[in-house]
Amino acid sequence: MTQVDLSKLDVAITYVERMAEGNNPVKNLPAEEDSVLNNPNVIRCMYFIRDVLVQVKENGGVIQGSSGRTAKRPFPFEVLSRFEYEEDRSISHFLAQIKALADTPNVKGIGTKPVTDWLKSMGYLVEEYDSSASEKRTRTTEKGEEFGLYMDRRVSMMGKEYQVIMYSRKAQEFIVQNMEAIINGEICE
């Protein structure tokens, strides 16, 4: 991502608009009859360039990388006031429900890692090495269960059993009330 000088962007938009209208960009006088600025293909190109520059201006002067995606806006924490508990959920489903409150796909979601890292730092979750699976697993602690977290057994489509951490109403509501502080790494009690 690159940020451009907005005042220079305004000048560029003005010049491109003048060229699209068939005028000299500096003096804003009509170009000579045989000028390239009177070529319909050049005129269409100048209008296209103007539209792109206007989009960059509307994006606060930010030019995106080569991915072609538009910049995602930061999560608007004020929408959390509309949160309503629906059912116990896993962290990914719970955070998807929260992201949906923003009513736009062009917003950054809240990742599971900051929330689970915070829960670990508060002693609600713990990460342990599972020698039978040869990997680290996260599970609830006694304090986490009092907080409203619990382990739920599931079976995959392949028939393999696994456990998922579920978030009750109490846990979801507390996380929502403290989400901004959690994301900022602040301690909440």
CB 45 within 8 A of CB 22: no
Residuewise pLDDT in 10s, the chain (189 residues): 577 777 887 888 888 888 877 788 888 887 777 777 777 677 777 777 877 887 877 777 777 655 555 667 888 899 999 999 999 999 989 998 999 898 877 888 888 899 999 999 999 999 998 887 788 889 999 999 999 999 999 888 888 888 899 999 999 999 999 998 888 877 665
Residues 110 and 48 in one domain: no
Q: Which residue has the tokens 């304090």?
A: 143
Structural domain contains residue 68: no
Domain of residue 176 covers 77-183
Query: Could you tell me which residues come within 8 angstroms of residue 121 by beta carbon, excluding any fewer than 6 positions away?
Result: 187
Domain boundary among 25, 40, 63: 63
| 20 and 87 share one domain | no
Are the CB atoms for 153 and 161 separated by under 8 Å?
yes
* pTM higher than 0.85: no
Taken in order 143, 145, 149, 154, is the CA torsion positive or negative? positive
**Euclidean distance between the first and the last CA atom of the chain, given in angstroms as a whole number:** 38
Task: Report the domain count for the chain.
Answer: 2
